[in-house]
Amino acid sequence: MELNRELETRIVEFSKDVVVQSPSVLQLRILTILRQAVENYSHQTLYPFFHFPLFGVIHRMKQQSPVRLTMVGGGSWATALIKILSENNVSIKWWLRKESDAEHIKKFGHNPSYLSDVQINTRKVKVCTRIKDAFRDSDYIVLAVPAAFVSDALSGIKPEHFAGKYVISAIKGMIPSANQLVTDWVREQYNVPASRIAVIAGPCHAEEVALEKQSYLTIASQDVACADDVAAMLNCRFVQATGVDDIYGIEYSAVMKNIIALACGITHGLGYGDNFQAVLVSNAMQEIKRFVDAIYPKHRDLSGSAYLGDLLVTAYSPFSRNRTFGTLIGRGYTIQSAQMEMNMIAEGYYAVKSIHEINRQFQVRMPIAEAVYNILYERASPTLEMEGVKRLLT
Ligand SMILES: NC(=O)c1ccc[n+]([C@@H]2O[C@H](COP(=O)([O-])OP(=O)(O)OC[C@H]3O[C@@H](n4cnc5c(N)ncnc54)[C@H](O)[C@@H]3O)[C@@H](O)[C@H]2O)c1
Ligand SMILES: O=P(O)(O)OC[C@H](O)CO
């Protein structure tokens, strides 16, 4: 029987992993295989497998052993991810930089600085401000600070602290000092194998997660089983998560969409309307495709939600940090005053410089990203730069 063979193969693959996994990761792996089997096959086909002893074992494991995870970051996205993960059998250590925020969460069950309405389940979530304590006994490390601050957040952490752990980047930015994607940087700095690294992507604003609005996430890893495991942790009442393998395409695309959101904001601040923005965004999608295909060629459909969907949400939503930052620049704020006006970080500000520098080698035609770079780093006039872009749009 087809199913027989497929389940057999997957269980054999999985058993090769058994020796190196901790119980909570094993549990997640088995659950993922079963969830996929249940989704893909009818009850009738699956019936004989219910006699498989694993099913009973899994049920008991689900009750007993939570996945152990560390969240690094105290901003909006970290807070939203804590809310999502708390819906599942995950035990969380939450590292925050600010002692006062950590104390407030312990006492009142709310993050005072970001998404303060979100109730934190302090039975599942243990807060700390010492990064080494946060890493201890965790299977998964989730990085959720802006890329420019990752190195600071991990100060004192050495490759051995990452040994045997999975790293999930929830960051949509580049490490400015290295012009590297966060996952490449983690792999190089801490010797984490690519098969143990995943990214959380997809069009998803923390503010809507806080309101439990239906959202979708795409989890990417070179090892799809790893992506599926992470997706299983994030699937809940209001979030549907799916695992895929295009980690580079998705990560670069997420970085690029922030730069385009800055352009959308700048033009909005200058008084351009929706008609213009629709053309700007569709041209920008082609720009993203040219860049991503040049830097990491692979057959991919950029109309998927982790690519086009993420560009759309960031380009049009009032929750978007990058669009808001761009709007302030378009209205005449200086970079410093725009940064001070927002309590949040616009990743695109740092990313556009990295992408500009990386593109020296690739020479991809990217007039929109170049205009944003000129405005933010070369003191070019937003009006003149966007006049130039306007003439090139089709
Ligand atoms: N907010 C979202 O909806 C969302 C969704 C998906 C991905 N992301 C990504 O998540 C990452 C984190 O973004 P966010 O939205 O949570 O950030 P945020 O703007 O809400 O919060 C700012 C964060 O930066 C930290 N910070 C500020 N100044 C710092 C400094 N000098 N040193 C160290 N840390 C400092 C703050 O403690 C806080 O954690 C970004 O890469 C972002 O692209 C965000
Ligand atoms: O829209 P932004 O600039 O707040 O970025 C947040 C996320 O990337 C949206 O998916």
Average pLDDT over residues 133-159: 97
Ligand 2 pocket residue status of 144, Cβ below 6 Å: no
pLDDT confidence of residue 144: 98
4 forms beta bridges with: none
Q: Which tokens sit at 364?
A: 């991809």
Contact status, residue 111 vs residue 210, Cβ threshold 8 Å: no
CA dihedral 58, 54, 29, 89 (to 10 degrees): 0
pLDDT number for residue 1: 44
Closest CA to 31 of 55, 12, 53, 66: 55
Task: Give the residue-averaged pLDDT of 153-170.
Answer: 98
Is ligand 2 within 6 A of the CB of residue 257?
A: no
Per-residue pLDDT of 33-90, as tens digits, reads 666 665 666 555 655 555 555 555 555 555 568 999 999 999 999 999 999 999 999 9
Residue 47, pLDDT score: 56
Q: What is the ipTM of this complex?
A: 0.97
Q: Note the pLDDT of residue 378.
A: 98
Alpha carbons 249 and 308: distance in angstroms, whole number: 12
Residues with CB under 6 Å of ligand 1 are 73-78, 97, 114, 144-147, 149, 152, 170-173, 204-206, 321, 344-345, 347
pTM, whole model, 2 decimals? Answer: 0.89
**Among all ligands shown, which has an atom nearest to the Cα of 115?**
1
Residue 205 CA, closest ligand 2 atom number: 9
Q: How far is ligand 1, taken at its centre, from the CA of residue 185, in Å?
A: 18
**Does 253 sit in the ligand 2 pocket, CB within 6 Å?**
no
- DSSP at 120: P
> What's the CATH fold of domain 249-392?
N-(1-d-carboxylethyl)-l-norvaline Dehydrogenase; domain 2 (1.10.1040)
**CB within 8 A of 119, min separation 6: which ones?**
109, 110
pLDDT above 90: percentage of residues in the chain? 83
Residue 321 CB less than 6 A away from ligand 2:
yes
Using one digit for the tens of pLDDT, what is the confidence trace for 275-287? 999 999 999 999 9
Q: Is 374 annotated as a binding residue?
A: no
Q: Which fold has domain 66-245?
A: Rossmann fold (3.40.50)
Q: How far is CA 71 from CA 92, 142, 168, 365, in A?
A: 7, 5, 9, 38
CA atoms of 294 and 320, how far apart (whole Å): 27
Instruction: Give the confidence band of 355 by pLDDT, cuts at 50, 70, 90.
Output: very high
182 Cα to the center of ligand 1, angstroms: 14
User: Which residues are known catalytic residues?
Assistant: 257
pLDDT at position 19 over 50: no
CA of 269: how far to CAs of 46, 263, 264, 280, 339, in Å? 57, 10, 9, 14, 16
Q: How far is the CA of 347 from the centre of ligand 2 (A)?
A: 9
Write down the H helix ranges in 296-344.
Answer: 310-316, 321-330, 335-341
Question: Would you place residue 343 in the very low, low, confident or very high pLDDT band (cuts 50, 70, 90)?
Answer: confident
Residues in the chain: 394
Mean of all residue pLDDT scores within the chain:
91
pLDDT tens digits, residue range 223-242?
Answer: 999 999 999 999 999 999 99
Q: How many CA atoms lie within 13 A of 46 on its CB side?
A: 13
Average pLDDT score over residue span 145-161: 98
Domain boundaries, the chain: 2-63, 66-245, 249-392
Q: What is the mean pLDDT of residues 239-258?
A: 98
Pairwise CA distance, residues 337 & 324, whole Å: 13
- The whole-angstrom separation of Cα 161 and Cα 234 is 24
**Contact by Cβ (8 Å): 168, 196:** no
Q: In angstroms, what is the span from residue 146 Cα to ligand 1's centroid? A: 4
Q: How many CB atoms lie within 10 A of CB 53?
A: 7
Is beta strand 180-181 parallel, antiparallel or unpaired with respect to 90-95?
Answer: unpaired
Do residues 69 and 124 lie in contact, with contact meaning Cβ atoms separated by under 8 Å? no
